[in-house]
Structure 1
Amino acid sequence: MGLRENAAAAAGRTVATGDTESDEYTGTTAEPLPDLSDYVPKDGEDWDMVPVHIAWLRVRRDISWIGKGDAYVENGKKKYDFRGYERVVAAFGPITLKHGVSVIPHRVVPSHRDAKSGKGTPMREATTLITWRIYGPKGDFFEMESEGEALDYADKGTAKAQTIAQRVALLVGGLIPTGAPDSDESNIERGEAPVRPAASYLDEICNPHTSAGRLRQIHYELRTTRQLGALVTNEVGDEEPIGEMVVRIGKERAAGGAE
């Protein structure tokens, strides 16, 4: 019995045999996904009021396994199979409803940085650490953490990182075979992060509202990128090494504040 049949059985429905689903991205036929469009708990059907760890064990038992029914294709050639986000959520969705279990993000800690693809295209890397709360039918819960990482050319990196983190949490927290979950669904070759030019710091350095802590951080960033000796035009129009300029302005503001 496949995923769609398992989901239908949980909802008290049947699925006609021979149904397939076309993968629009790869153009291949993948394992059918469950149809959850009309699934709701039956009227009068009460959940067993068991502790959350028992309800979670029942979810794991009913799901049993999730196959690698999705394929990553590059230039018309399949590179590898994986268990995609939609496949995992489609498997967990009806079974968690059946047992009164909810999976809720409780704490999200994101981080971002600039990156480049192997071809030099600017990208944005998003990494997200999420603490999940697994609630049972009685309202008790336990927590687990997972992390997702994604690269994107536009504004979807954070959303991708969060969906990857959720997929990892469900597969690892549920001990769902088969195979290790892939951490990326797109085969992007990572390049080196771009170095910020020294001159781009001038507005911040000259801004009287820039804190002393930020000036020290700028000095550190310039030192790590070996740009302390880069010549820039300072606030009076003279050329000056940017590292010396940061130190000088920091001392001037410290002296002015002490008066």
Structure 2
Amino acid sequence: MHEGFLVYNGFRYLKVATFLCVVAIALYAWDVPPDEPNGGTWLGYGLGGIGAGLIVWLMWFGMRKRKYGTIGKLQGWLSAHVYLGASLIIIATLHTGFQFGWNLHTLAYGLMMVVIGSGFFGIYAYARYPQLMTQNRRDETADDIYNEIGELDRECRQVASDLPDEVVSLVLASCSETRIGGSVIRQLSGTDPNCATARAFDKVREMAASAAVEHGTNMRKLVTLLAMKATHLRTMRREVQLKALMEIWLYFHVPLSFALLAALVGHILSVFYYW
């Protein structure tokens, strides 16, 4: 999907965005305003109008994208969203005439750059992380691994049933208290410092070194089972981490887009007020 929208229809929208940027740069180089270049010249208003129109259209895409009927149409609009959004870096910068200050106009420009930056991260995330997730699972599905964890829990309980009560308690805690995911921070970290399975593995391995002869075989088998479960848990926590990284950017991109829209409206109203 990510490769499809980036190269959609022979890079159609990359060519459109490049054309817009080249024309904007040529006009900026040709124009010689009475004062310094700024957003208040005829070129500044023209570039500002184009930039504002693009921003509104890009946000409209965000609201409409779930209603597109076919993948091809979605890819086309997404390609336009990416490349025309990136063109705002040139168009909006030339609109400002490189005049910045502590004002609403610069705030709108700064928000726009942050929104574009978060969009670039989103492109990278959707291009890179699905591949990493497949490699992480070694071509197994997440459901397969969860089923294997459940089977390992069953085997651990069975092996521990003939072992001392302390071992049984550790195994039961491993089965009932192990968590995958959790808070946003926990998901993004991909770890669980209080993992009940890791705790059980460390303790059982220590106990196995001095276990009674009649328990030795089962203790070693239990250590092996817990080690396998710990490996599966690391795999699934990495899976959750990558999914969280794929989604977290939207929690910045979307709210910041609305903040940008508000700043843009304020910017336009202030321009007309002082005109």
TM range (shorter): under 0.3
Instruction: Give the TM-score taking structure 1 as reference length.
Output: 0.27
Write 1 or 2 for the structure with the bigger share of strand.
1
Q: Which has the higher contact order (CA 8 A, sep 6+)?
A: 2
Write 1 or 2 for the structure with the bigger share of helix.
2
Instruction: Give the TM-score taking structure 2 as reference length.
Output: 0.26
Q: Which has the larger radius of gyration?
A: 2
